[in-house]
Structures are given as C-alpha cells and as structure tokens.
A and B are shown apart, each in its own frame.
Chain A
C-alpha cells in the first residue's frame, strides 16, 4: 500500500469552488451558468473516478498543506471509504444538476444563481469530508457544508423556510460543536486525531470513561446530520427546500456525511475492537433501531409526500448506523453498501416527488390517486425505487439489507434482525399505497387512508355505518360529533346524529331491508326513497369516495388554510397553509400521457431513470458497480483481526 502524493484530491475539492465563483460571475447568463455547473460536476466525477483503479489496487492518494492547528495537518487522503462517498456524491451531482435545471426552470424559481452556487460549494465540502484524513479536517468541511447548504434550505425566503433554516443551523451547528468537543477529547486522550484503519491505538489504552464520553459526543455530533432520533427533527422541516436540494443534499450528501462521520469514528478512530471493548456499539445500535422503527411509523401518517420521504430517509439512515454498530464484517458491509444503495433509491423517489410538483403542483398523497395516468414513467420509477426501499430482491436495497440481516443473525442479535424485517414491512406499508393508488385507482374513486386522515388514538366514533342501521336519536356524545366531523375533508356524517336532527323521520321510511324473509311490499325496481333529497346509502359514504372537493366542508377554504386543530385530521406540519393550494387533479381527473416521456421534460425524467437504473444495477451486479468492491476493501482492512463481538 503506497501513498501517492497527488494534487487530485485537492483538485476534486477545489474544482467546484472555482465553479461557485464562475457561477456567481455568470449570474446574468443562465445558460452559461448552468453549463458551468454541468462541466464542473462532470470534471469532479472524472477526477474522483480516476483515482478508483489506484485505490482498488491498494494505493492511497495524499495531499498536504502542512500543519493546520496544533500538529494536525491540513491534508486530504483518498482511501476506499472516502472514495466510496466521493464517488457517490460526485456521480449523483451530475444527474442532480440536470434535474435542477429542469426543476428550477420549470417552476421559474427566483435566486437560481445563489442556488447553483451554494450547490457547488456544498459538493466541494462533501468531497472534502470524504477525503479528510483526520477529525479536524473533517470538522472543517462539516461546518463548511452546513454554511453552504443553509442558503439552499432557506431558498424560498418565506417565513416557513426561514424558520426551517434557523432550525437547521441550530441543529447542525450544535452537532458540529459536539463533533469538535469529541475531537478535542480524542486529541487530549491520544495526542492525535488522524484516522488509522483499525482505530487509533492509544484510544484503546486510555481511560474508558473519557473514551466513552468522546464516542458519545462524536456519535451525537455526527448523529444530528445522520438523522438519529431525537436529533432528526431538522430533516422533515428542511423539506421546504426545493426538491433537488432535498434529494441530493438531504438524502445523499448532508445526511450521508453524518453517516460517513459515524463510520469513520467506528472504523478509523475507535476501530471495531475498541468499540466492542468499550461497549458503546450496543447503545448506538439501540438508538438506530428505535429510529428505524419510530421513523417508519411516523412516515405512515404523513400526507405530504416529501415529508413521508424525509421520515423514510431518517429510518433508512439508521440501517447504515445499525450495520456499523453491529460490528460483524457482513453487517458493516451491509451498512456501508446501504450508503450508495439508499442514495440511488431515495434520489429517485425525491426526484419523482419533485417532478410531480413541477408538473401538477401536487404535494399531498391524498391528491395523487390516479396520477399514474398522468405521469406513468415517474410512478413506475417510484414503484421500482420503493420496492428497493422495502428490500425486494433485484434492487439495491435488498443486497445491503441482506448483508445486515446476515450480520445481525451471525452475531446472535436477533432483535435487530426482527426490527429490520418489521421495518421492511412498514416500508411497504407506507410506499405501496402511493404506488397502488397511482396506477390502480383514479381521482374519482380511491381508497380512504385511515392512517393519514384519522387523528392519533383513533376517532371518537366509527366512520362506518352501524351494522344495525342505527337509531334516530342516540347518545348525547354523538351530537357533538358533527362539530368535529365538519373539519374533516371527508364529509362523513353520523347516521344517528342526522337522524337525531330529524325526529319526524321514521326509520321505516328508509326502506330497511326486511330480513324476516317474508314478502316485501317494496318493489326494488323503483329507486329508493329519498331522504332529505338524497339516497340513504349516500348519507354514509365509506369506501366509495366521492370526488373530494375541498369546499364541501362548512369551513370552506379554511380547511386548507390555517389548521390549528391538530386533533382530527392530523396533518401536523403537513399544513397546506403556506402553499397556494392548486394541487390535485384537474376537474375531470388526470390527463393521460404516454410512456415515452410526454409527461414532462427529459431534464427531469432522464435523471430519474438514471437514478432508478443505478439502484437496479446496484441490486443486480453490486460488484461490477464498483461500490461493493470498495466496501470489501474497507471491511477487510478494518477487520483484519477477524470477527468481533
């Protein structure tokens, strides 16, 4: 293993800094500006990819500027783990740039120069994180990443996005401070912060209490960006950002840098053996498992598609952390493989959400029934990617999940295996309805979504009609129900309440079926008698949904504006409040578009298909797609001492 002194690492970092300056200078010429982004992203990927053969052969590329602070050098070092992350980020930046062009121009967004410039700077920081040889350089680029991504989060310049930006800064800088504190601890305990495969030797010999404290600080600090609960809360709020930002940064670059930090800490600062000795792997795995499951459950209730994807991201990132903290070779392999696997799949999903927003201004799943007609290619890609999320074979998510499962079972930690399997089921539970209703239902007739629509803890009374037909005047409590019902989108009315309002109504007039088997006077060739101008059966709609009109409720428009009542339809932060509510199918349902790209521009469809293909490729031939080879390399160097635990 030779160290090759090269300018390529710093070139890979600086090329997009130069790009940022060029983009800022080109603010009056949008086409030139976009060309700069594309050229720089291709160039960055080229530089990173050129280092693959060398790293696979066992060499390491280094570049150093000299001492930065104390005796810690400001340097860059390209090893397999760094190359894994760098390749992922730079490759996906190319397709995200194309997508961004389509997205920003499609929405005629403001501040595009600032957007593209910040994006380029963020990628520079991400590559810097990937190539950091020690904790301090990692911290430097970690903070630069936060600063560079903040303008992207607050891009919309609305009150909501400013609030999201503030929360983002508070969380990520807090995480940064924890990382710095942890690094200072490590420096104090061992005199060095350099990553060494197998861990820093002196750390194993130092005071366990302080070593554990340092691990906790580092894990918490990186865990903020990695979306470990309860530090994840910034991620769903950051979904106010434009979708390419949510996709590349908050599914690929920023969150993966947090996970990358954790992997560096586990593999190269402490080393698997020390982590096992200190006993800090199990708490980390526990936190990851809780996050896995809790985030999946929360995702079930989200109507806003991007927020659902955000919670899915939180959940999937914990697969990676779980794999890393189990410490067996297969688990680590699986965890690291999930980095690119999840990236491709989640990017596909986010891009689909974005293209739907651009083309139809629809953000809410409850309005997306039948959208497969309008956007077939998109929803097909969505289906493929979500299958991968759930761990269906042939797509990337299966390979990584399988490795992690094998790893958990081989170390005897069955509880984690069970958690992973349950999470797979939950993934299906929150992705399948989206896909199913897109293709197999229509905007006029689609299923209700009780998980999304009903309040936490259940409704005070059932939606479905009572099996005995109900009685005209019922308990007092039912008369309260209509008040709360009115705020539901679904015009559900209580049979008893309405009957209660009309005491003159004789249930006999409703034409109740006669189960006595005796003859009937009723001639069923006649239409049923009308009660209050409508058929009895229509007074209690259940599965067969009538076209949801936002204005059917008493509140009219207010049902889509300020929703202060979280009790009933708990959209929580999913309010329509700040968006011009013009989403949803047009009158008459979705138009039909063909399968040859008539639904949108190829600027956006192309990247979606590329990302989807990438996830399939990773699922079919993970070794040929370089990633798994890099990971095998990482794991074998990190675990030269064999299986731990």
Chain B
C-alpha cells in the first residue's frame, strides 16, 4: 500500500500548482501558503518513502493499474529515495526562505510547484519515455523561473537555457527512440533484460550516447554546460538557490539510473569505450569547472562553475560503476545539493544585506554578518572535502572506488579536485575574514537606488530590490529575516551532521547495489 505514496509525490505538487492561479482571481500573494502546504505534504510523503526503502523495501506502483511493461511504473528504491528526500527537504527550505525573501507572486509559486512535481517525476519514474515527459516539465518550469524576475539578462539566460535544454531533451528522446526500436519496450527493467544480448549493436550504442549527451547537457557537464553560468547568475537569488540544488542533480540521477538500471554494468563490460568516454568527459569537467571557477570574480558565477566541477565528480563516480563509487556518487549528489543550495542562499542574504555580488565586495563581511559568513565557511570547506562533512564522505567513497577500479587518472583528478576547489573557496574565505580594512566597502548603501522600473505593472509585484549598490539588480531578495538565516544555518548543520551518517547511506543503498552488482 505504501507504493501509493509514489504517484502522490508527483500529483500533489502538480495539482497544487493550479491553486495559486485560481486563487489569484480573488487574492494575490496567497500562493506562498499553497506552496507551503504542498511542500510540507511532500516532505511527509518523502519521509515515508525513505523509511520504507531504508527498511529494505522496493516500492513499485503501476500507474492507472496498467501493468508493466505496457503501463508506466513508478519505482522507489535505494537510488531514488535519497533524491526524493533531497527534493522535498530543499523545497521546504526554499519555501521557508521565500517567505520573507523571495517573490510572493502567485504565478511564481505555480511554476515552482510544477517544477517540484517534475523533479519528483524524474526521480521516481520507471519508464524511459515517462522520464522524458517529466524532464520536459522540469525544463519548462525552470525556464520560466529563471526569467521570473523579468530582467533582460535573465530573459536572455532563460532563452539560452531553453534552446540548449530543448536540444538536450531532444537528444534524450532520440536515444530513447533507438532503445525502443532495439527492444520494443520503454519500461526500464524490461529494457535492461531485453538489451542484454545486444550491447554492441549500433542502435544500442547510439541510444546510450544520445541519452547520456542529452542528460549531460541538462546536468551541465563540460562542454555542454554553457547555459548554466548565465542561468544561475542572472536568475533571481531564490530561484538560483532552488535550481542549483535540484535541477542538475536530478539530471545526474537520471544518468545514474540509465547506466545502472537500463544499460547495467554488463553494458560497460561489453562496450568499454562507452565507459571511458563518459569518464573522460566527466574528468575533464572536474578540471575545467574548477579552473573556470577560480578565475571568476562574481560569486554566483563562481558557484555555477563549481557545480560543473562537482557534477563531473558525480558522473565520474557513476561511470566507474563500482559499489563504492556509486555509493559515493549518491552521497555526493545529495551532499552537493545541500551545500550548493546553502551557498547560494547565503550569497543571497549577503547580497541583500551588503550589496555584495563579487568576491571583492565580500571583504571583511565575516565580521559584519558573522553567522552567514560562518555558514559560507562551513559549506565551502565541506565542498572542498574537509572532514567531517558529507562532502568528504562522497569524495572518499569515490576515491576508493577509483583506486579499486584501477582508474588511476580518475583517482588522481579526484584528489586534485580537492585542491582545485580549495583554490576558489579559500579565496572567498580569505576575503571574508582577512581582507585589509581599507578594502572593505563602506557600510552605507545607496538606498535611493531601489529600482521600481522593471517590475512595474504587476499589482503587489515583488518589491523592487532593496538598497543595493548595484542599481537595477532585480535578483536580490526582498529583505532578510532571521528565518532565512536560520534556514542557511540548518543547511550547514545538516551538511556536517550527515558526514557522520555513512552507515545510514550504506543501509539505504545496500539492496540497490546488491541488485546492480551481482
């Protein structure tokens, strides 16, 4: 019976997405309450899934009662449960953050809830075409959210993301098509058994290539990442917090699902070139993302390139396809979601309080916003991989997996990624705490430059950006409350606390890994 939770996970936010639009016929700014209720319900449902999977169950639900392989199956197992939990927790966090900070327009929350539904759909679906549908829902909602603050820069960024994202989705569906013509089925488990004999057939190889490239574009792997820095940088801060934590995460999860459940490890053994191709791109992504991040001066852009690097690490872990590395990949996927979401949220608070957008602007903020700067420090160091933190946990397992698989270049790059990440994190931390006092900007902000120009026309529109030294910066959150600081503080605590929970992760993924690696 618990498998009913799975379709509810998808249906609740999608249905709830309609409510704000309906409500806006009467009131405005009630969308937040709908979102709050919906995400709270989602959190409860996710907890149910997580505890069921932790106890060893594998939840399967046939949508509409149509049996697989004809019908669509929804599956909750060790790989999807952590992602579902991550989506739920981050949604709750962002909604809490948006109470004071984010947009309060009803339309925003409609798009937001659609996105949550889409993300949940990708995470629990057991059907390849259904995954495409939810990827598209996710993508469309994300394009809308990126452009939500209605500035020209975010519109261009959203357009770029739309074009590239649709290309990615198209590649994905082409790949699915090749898989379909090779086997006649779209159900993942069924596909895996039918693909078994024909791993080296051209259509199958082509299918794998197209699917991975399409999803790689969505996960922003180098060199398919070019939409990401602009989208993250120019979207409004609340939106960036949400999408950085979840959208690429879910795409990376999809890659893992395709590799491990659909094509299986046997495919890599039959066609080693496929594994090495993915590993190479992932490894290059680690280095390229890190190097590009080091040279950035704008903080949001720096974090965006950091994501490119971190996802390289995750995809490399999945491509290595050993028990340790897959466990490490999942741990790092979840951990990165929390760390990057927390970092963007903290950056949003600092931007709103001090108008700090570039690394130079962060001079000595460690003393003016000690709690938030402390959160940046903790999350940054966790991203580097300093124990005890979930970042270290993921890196350790991936490193062990790489060494055990004998993939020495990958192992070397995994170790070097620590130093590369350190380069940009340490730069930020040094600026926060040890910049010389004359470099720090004056505390007074030009309050008069609150811009009303671009957001006029909407009643109760999200108020113009607060006093910010960047005139016309529509990305900034409306204001900062203690609750928002508490949310980022909780993120930091969670990241460190989860560093001690490796037995929990192992128990959670044990049945799944046992199934994948016989």
Contact = CB atoms under 8 A, between A and B. Distances in A.
Interface stretch (B14-22, B27-35, B432-440): B432-440
Interface string B203-234: 00000000000000000000000000000000
Given A68-B502, A139-B387, A157-B437, A166 B400 contact: no
A74 B436 CA distance: 39
A74 B500 contact: yes
B419 A162 contact: no
A173 B422 contact: yes
A158 B436 CA distance: 6
Interface in A160-216: 161-162, 165-166, 169-170, 173-174, 176-177, 180-181, 184-185, 187-188
B400 A187 contact: yes
Given A147-B381, A184-B396, A157 B500 contact: no
B281 interface: no
A159 B435 CA distance: 8
Contacts of B435: 157
A224 B506 CA distance: 34
Contact of A143 (B386, B403, B430): B386
B100 interface: no
A166 B429 CA distance: 11
B426 interface: yes
Contacts of A184: 396, 399-400, 403, 411
Contacts of B503: 66-67
A519 interface: no
Contacts of B434: 151, 154, 157, 161-162, 165
B403 A188 contact: yes
B430 A173 contact: no
A70 interface: yes
Contacts of B324: 70
Interface string B417-457: 01100100010001001111100000000000000000000
A51 to B, nearest CB: 24
Nearest to A217: B415
Nearest to A140: B387
B497 interface: no
Interface in A442-473: none
Given A147-B381, A158-B436, A165-B430, A70 B419 contact: no
B399 A69 contact: no
Interface string B322-354: 001000000000000000000000000000000
Contacts of B403: 184-185, 188
B420 to A, nearest CB: 10
B388 interface: yes
Size range of the interface on B? 20 to 34
A188 B419 contact: no
B419 A177 contact: yes
Nearest to A153: B434
B386 A147 contact: yes
A220 to B, nearest CB: 12
A180 B436 contact: no
Contacts of B384: 173
Contacts, number: 81
B329 to A, nearest CB: 15
Nearest to A189: B403
A65 interface: yes
Contacts of B397: 69-70
A70 B322 CA distance: 14
Interface in A238-253: none
B202 interface: no
A621 interface: no
Contacts of A181: 399, 411, 415
A68, A158, A161, A169 pick with most chain B CB within 10 angstroms? A68
Contacts of A297: none
B500 A65 contact: yes
Contacts of B426: 166, 169
Contact of A173 (B419, B437, B500, B506): B419
A500 B416 CA distance: 62
A286 interface: no
A143, A147, A161, A187 pick with most chain B CB within 10 angstroms? A143
Contacts of A176: 418
Contacts of B404: 188
A166 B503 CA distance: 36
A105 B403 CA distance: 51
B393, B437, B502 pick with most chain A CB within 10 angstroms? B502
A56 interface: no
Contacts of B506: 67
A188 B416 contact: no
A70 B433 contact: no
Interface in B477-518: 500, 502-503, 506
A162 B430 contact: yes
A112 to B, nearest CB: 14
A151, A159, A187, A188 pick with most chain B CB within 10 angstroms? A188
A360 to B, nearest CB: 27
Interface in A74-129: 74
B396 A69 contact: yes
A74 B393 CA distance: 13
A130 B430 CA distance: 29
A28 to B, nearest CB: 14
Interface string B376-396: 000001001011100011001
Contacts of A136: 387, 396
A49 interface: no
A510 interface: no
A5 to B, nearest CB: 19
Contacts of A65: 500
A144 interface: yes
A143 B387 contact: yes
Contacts of A180: 396, 399, 415, 418
A69 B393 contact: yes
Contacts of A151: 433-434
A169 B422 contact: yes
A174 B416 CA distance: 9
A67 B396 CA distance: 14
A65 B497 CA distance: 13
A475 to B, nearest CB: 50
Given A69-B397, A140-B387, A174-B419, A154 B430 contact: yes
Contacts of B415: 177, 180-181
Contacts of A161: 434
Contacts of A143: 386-387
B260 to A, nearest CB: 20
A6 to B, nearest CB: 20
B508 to A, nearest CB: 14
Contacts of A67: 502-503, 506
B502 A70 contact: yes
A122 to B, nearest CB: 15
A44 to B, nearest CB: 21
Given A140-B387, A162-B430, A177 B396 contact: no
Contact of B400 (A74, A140, A170, A188): A188
Contacts of B393: 69
Interface of B: 324, 381, 384, 386-388, 392-393, 396-397, 399-400, 403-404, 411, 415-416, 418-419, 422, 426, 430, 433-437, 500, 502-503, 506
Given A70-B400, A157-B437, A181-B399, 6 more contacts: A66-B503, A67-B506, A70-B502, A139-B387, A165-B434, A185-B403
> Which 8 A-B pairs rank lowest in CB-CB distance, beginning with the nearest?
A140-B387, A154-B434, A67-B503, A143-B386, A188-B403, A69-B502, A184-B399, A177-B415
27 contacts: A66-B503, A67-B503, A69-B502, A74-B388, A144-B386, A144-B387, A147-B381, A154-B433, A154-B434, A157-B435, A157-B436, A158-B436, A162-B434, A169-B422, A169-B426, A170-B422, A173-B384, A176-B418, A177-B418, A177-B419, A180-B396, A180-B399, A181-B399, A181-B415, A184-B396, A184-B400, A184-B411
